[in-house]
Amino acid sequence: MIEIKDVYKSFGTLEVLKGINLTVEKGEVVSVIGGSGSGKSTLLTCINGLEPINSGSILVDGVEVHAKTTDLNKLRRKIGIVFQQFNAFPHLTVLENVTLAPRKVLGMSKPEAEAIAEKQLAHVGLGDKLAVYPGRLSGGQQQRMAIARALAMSPEYVLFDEVTSALDPQLVGEVLDTLKLLADDGMTMICVTHEMTFARDVSDRVAFFHKGIMAEIAPSKEFFNAPQHPETQKFLSNIRS
Amino acid sequence: MFTYTFQWRQAWQKIPLLLDGALVTLEIALLSMAMGVAFAVILAVARNSKSRWIYAPATVWVEVARNTPALFQIYMAHFGLGSFGIHLSPYIALLAGITFNNAGYLAETFRGALRAIPGTQLRAARSLGMPQTQAFRLVIMPQMFRIAFLPTTNQMVWAILMTSLGVTVGMNTDLAGVTQDINVRSFRTFEIFALAAVIYYLIAKAVTLGARLLARRMFRY
Ligand SMILES: Nc1ncnc2c1ncn2[C@@H]1O[C@H](COP(=O)(O)OP(=O)(O)O)[C@@H](O)[C@H]1O
Ligand SMILES: [Mg+2]
């Protein structure tokens, strides 16, 4: 379970998160939508401790992420994150990209890590690209590799930050299909996204961010059929028109 | 009037001596590069330090190394330090001077290479649970090494050529020193310097070509 309690976060004088409260249960899929600069990415990087927070608390399975005594390296093993920019490691092959952390962080043997990596890569449709360097892959393939890389650590939570936003339109579908499979498998996911169809069909709940505040959160059908907050209504009608 | 008659045979006989000198040249260049790389890494890190007692000396080093003649740097190591009672042999002074110069240039090369790697690479590595040092070693350093590789081999060529400045501090065992010795004894100036130049050229070319082949094998992405 991820518990976000009254989290405030600033970059210098710029207040980016202004009292965020959100609890994500095991097995739940929550989509986060909202305008650019509303603090969605920042929230994700706070959850895995890449960014410090100013006040409030974030608990992952009861462990406070920003407590001084928390071993972040250990905590991050169970929180996967996939970024908008795929962040493939260009000096490693696809297989090496995926085996690196299982071997070096989890201490798996090479064959053990490769077995897991090959399974994950086959799952995202890259079973025939193991020996290829990421520079040779399309954006969609690189992003699917990044997803396999996160999943090879067997995380209990995966955070997705606009993973389709840097892709050509015709490549978006293949990545969304991968996410959908993962959701069907029961993975706990927080997905920052601009794909409204995905948010509606795949997620259990949808949250709307506006200027550092979570203006609205509701079960996905309700959220799209009867948005309550005027800013949500404005946002959705802008997208539909 | 053009009265100089070429006497290649006499120069030709000195080739074994010149090649011995070339080995010393190569030795100094390699040593100065090895030490230069080590100091450059320290300088590059030091220049990112928040303490002015660390970054200021490092910055002075880099600035002086890159913006004053290499000849002066070698002079300083020999005669300059000599004024303070620190007497370095020509060999050590030459090695120190070139190492100083290499470190200054390479520090900038490494810093630039580091900057060229997007910060998101480090974030991605840390997100996978890698501690900072491990992320640097496994993800950042290999990429930095690749970006810096060709500039570093250029510096190696430059180091080889800089060793010839050693004659000005009395160095007489490297290629330039041997050449100068033969010259003052035989007065076959043109032939002997031409031969030495060819040897410098071949060494420099071999280093460049070797580096290119190595790069092709090492960096397959
Ligand atoms: N590292 C940073 N330093 C300073 N400002 C930042 C940093 N990261 C994000 N911001 C600012 O914080 C605000 C929220 O950014 P972000 O969380 O990326 O928004 P979103 O993902 O919703 O588009 C933006 O105004 C952005 O410019
Ligand atoms: Mg964002």
At residue B1 the predicted structure's pLDDT band, cuts being 50, 70 and 90, is: low
Contact of A163 with A151, CB cutoff 8 Å: no
Q: Name the residue range of residue B142's domain.
A: 18-218
At residue B186 the predicted structure's pLDDT band, cuts being 50, 70 and 90, is: confident
Among A13-17, A153-157, A169-173, B38-42, the minimum mean pLDDT is found in A169-173
Q: What is the pLDDT of residue A189?
A: 97
Does residue A240 register a pLDDT over 80? no
Give the number of the atom of ligand 1 that is nearest the alpha carbon of residue A209: 22
Q: Supply the CATH number for residue B192's domain.
A: 1.10.3720.10
Residue among B108, B117, B112 at smallest CA distance from B142: B117
Residue B127 lies in a domain: yes
Does residue B219 register a pLDDT over 90? no
Residue B56 lies in a domain: yes
Contact yes or no for B127 and A149 at CB 8 A: no
Residue B1 lies in a domain: no
Residue A59 has φ and ψ, to the nearest 5°, of -115, 130
Looking at domain A2-240, its CATH superfamily turns out to be P-loop containing nucleotide triphosphate hydrolases (3.40.50.300)
At residue B4 the predicted structure's pLDDT band, cuts being 50, 70 and 90, is: confident
Rounded to whole angstroms, how far apart are CA atoms A33 and A210? Answer: 9
User: Which conformational region is residue B117 in: left (phi greater than 0), alpha (psi within -120 to 50 degrees), or beta?
Assistant: beta
Taking the CA of residue A84 and the nearest CA in chain B, the distance in Å comes to 10
Q: Which residues of A touch B138 (CB under 8 A)?
A: 100, 104
Q: Which residues of A touch B220 (CB under 8 A)?
A: 133
Query: Closest ligand to A83 CA?
Result: 2
Strand, helix or coil for residue A180 = helix
- ipTM reported for the complex, 2 dp: 0.93
Q: What is the pLDDT of residue B49?
A: 85
Residue B97 lies in a domain: yes
Contact yes or no for B220 and A133 at CB 8 A: yes
Distances (CA, A) of B186 to A100, B164, B183: 63, 20, 5
Q: What is the pLDDT of residue B5?
A: 81
At residue B26 the predicted structure's pLDDT band, cuts being 50, 70 and 90, is: very high
Q: What is the pLDDT of residue A241?
A: 62
Does residue A16's CB lie within 6 angstroms of at least one atom of ligand 1?
yes
Tens-digit pLDDT profile for residues B54-94: 999 999 999 999 999 999 999 999 999 988 999 999 999 99
Tens-digit pLDDT profile for residues A107-157: 999 999 999 999 999 989 999 999 999 999 999 999 999 999 999 999 999
Q: Residues of B at the A interface (Cβ-Cβ below 8 Å)?
A: 118, 120-121, 123-131, 134, 138-139, 142-143, 146, 219-221
Specify the DSSP class assigned to residue A15: E
Residue B6 lies in a domain: no
Total domains, chain B: 1
Q: Which residues of A touch B142 (CB under 8 A)?
A: 91
Average pLDDT, chain A: 95
Residue B4 lies in a domain: no
